[in-house]
Amino acid sequence: MKKKIFIFFILIMFIGINLKGNQSYTIELKKKIPDYLKNLKKIAQDTNNNNETFEELINGASSASMLFQLVNKKSEKVKILSLGYTIADKLMKKYPQKSEGYHYGAFLLGMIGVYKGPHFILNYLPKIEKMALKGLKLNPNFHHGSTYVTLCATYFESPGFPLSIGNIYKAKKYCQFSIKNFPDNCTAYLYLASIYDTLKLKDNALETLKIGEKNCAPVDNSLEEKVWYEEDYSALHQMINKLIKGESIRHFMQER
């Protein structure tokens, strides 16, 4: 009996150490928020500077795509996303044959819509979709299917009938495609579970999250990707707990 208790104690310590280690990625990156913001503002607001390299613009758009998750206020999130979209717009104009500007542009404008509300998304949906589809045409495998998730999220957050017909089913289609072809992309599971919960298919929602729990993984070894994965994986477990308690996760992605 004492041996079992000792093993259990060691296991709990091991889990605690692992969780603490994972959280250090977010803590480490949060320390750099002022530097990231300074760089974002410099690139986005200097409209007369056409000397930025492709890599500098990519880094700016990528930073905004990750950084908004590390602040709490919606107004701060929208500010960061807007700076990122300005940089993505520069990418599209300066490098129109490169896919990255369209992918980031669709994502950043779509996320602005998530926080500004469904009517914003409805107004910008054609533009978001056009950018996403252009990016997918140039590179359908960008960042492990993240642009399919962008389309899923945008349609999911758009108003439904009578303003728009079938958006939630379009969202479901894009998330399912992403999961089928890029099973390590954690965000797709979160949105698909939200869709199932909205359709009152709670068992499907819970099953989706449990599959995601097994399949989710960082798509590269960058600090930014590790933080993105860490945030999504934490959200996944929060959503599982809410469903087990009988709570709705319909608005979880918008409120996180």
| The pLDDT of residue 14 | 31
Tell me the backbone φ, ψ of residue 61, rounded to 5 degrees. Answer: -65, -40
Using 50, 70 and 90 to split pLDDT, how confident is the model at 164? low
- DSSP character for 256? -
Q: pLDDT tens digits, residue range 49-86?
A: 677 889 999 989 988 988 888 888 899 999 999 999 99
How far apart, in whole angstroms, are the C-alpha atoms of residue 209 and residue 179? 12
Q: What percent of the chain has pLDDT over 90?
A: 54
CB of 73 closer than 8 Å to CB of 113: no
Of 34-38, 133-137, 233-237, the one with minimum mean pLDDT is 34-38
Q: Would you say 147 and 154 are in contact if contact means Cβ atoms under 8 Å apart? A: no
Domain ranges (residues) in the chain: 23-255
Top pLDDT among 223 and 237 is at: 237
Structure confidence at residue 55 (pLDDT):
92
pLDDT at 223 over 80: no
Q: State residue 190's pLDDT score.
A: 97
pLDDT of residue 49: 66
CA 253 – CA 193 distance, rounded (Å)? 10
What does the pLDDT read at residue 162?
55
CA distance 58 to 16: 36
Mean pLDDT value of segment 126-145: 93
Closest by CA position to 50, among listed 95, 94, 100, 102: 94
Tell me the average pLDDT of the chain: 84
pLDDT score of 21 more than 80: no
pLDDT at 146 over 80: yes
- Give me the architecture of the 23-255 domain, per CATH: Alpha Horseshoe (1.25)
φ, ψ for residue 39, nearest 5 deg: -70, -40
Given this model, what pLDDT does residue 5 score?
36
Write down the pLDDT at residue 76.
92
For residue 10, the model assigns a pLDDT of 30
The pLDDT, as a whole number, for residue 61 is: 93
pTM of the entire structure?
0.80
